[in-house]
């Protein structure tokens, strides 16, 4: 098993934390998935506990068979991410799903 994420983290990902952080947590999730929303407080706690040592990368993985009408994320990803920062987009969306 390779210790590297494939495909590599890039502009299509929503990342929080330093690019050179020694630890990286990559999460794949669906913005409509209740289980994904329930996981977010645990991810947030890990980020708080590990601070600058952790980089969290979120990748949208739409569960098209799980929803009658799968939707894209609740913001235009590229434009919105450029406007407020990709990490803030993921935080806002996943926080909303957790509540």
Structure confidence by residue, pLDDT tens digits, 33-49: 888 888 889 999 999 99
d(CA 29, CA 40): 10
Q: Select the more confidently predicted residue: 44 or 99.
A: 44
Helical (H) or strand (E) element with 79: helix 77-84
Whole-model pTM over 0.75: no
31/25: higher pLDDT: 25
Largest CA distance in the chain: 40
Give which of 9, 56, 14, 63 is closest to 36, Cα–Cα. 63
Going by the DSSP 8-state scheme, the letter that residue 8 receives in this structure is P
Residue 52: its pLDDT value, please? 96
pLDDT tens readout for residues 49-92: 999 999 999 888 877 777 666 555 555 555 544 444 545 555 55
CA distance 37 to 19: 24
Q: How far is CA 97 from the centre of its chain?
A: 12
Inter-residue contact 17 to 54 (CB < 8 Å): yes
What is the pLDDT at residue 67?
A: 66
d(CA 42, CA 5): 21
């Amino acid at each position: 098993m390779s210790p590297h994420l494939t495909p590599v983290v890039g502009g299509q990902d929503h990342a929080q934390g330093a690019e050179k952080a020694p630890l990286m947590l990559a999460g794949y999730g669906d913005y409509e998935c209740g289980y994904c929303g329930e996981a977010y407080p645990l991810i947030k706690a890990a980020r708080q506990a590990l601070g600058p040592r952790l980089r969290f990368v979120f990748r949208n993985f739409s569960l098209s068979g799980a929803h009658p009408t799968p939707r894209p994320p609740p913001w235009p990803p590229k434009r919105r991410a450029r406007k407020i920062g990709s990490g803030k987009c993921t935080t806002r969306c996943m926080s909303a799903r957790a509540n």
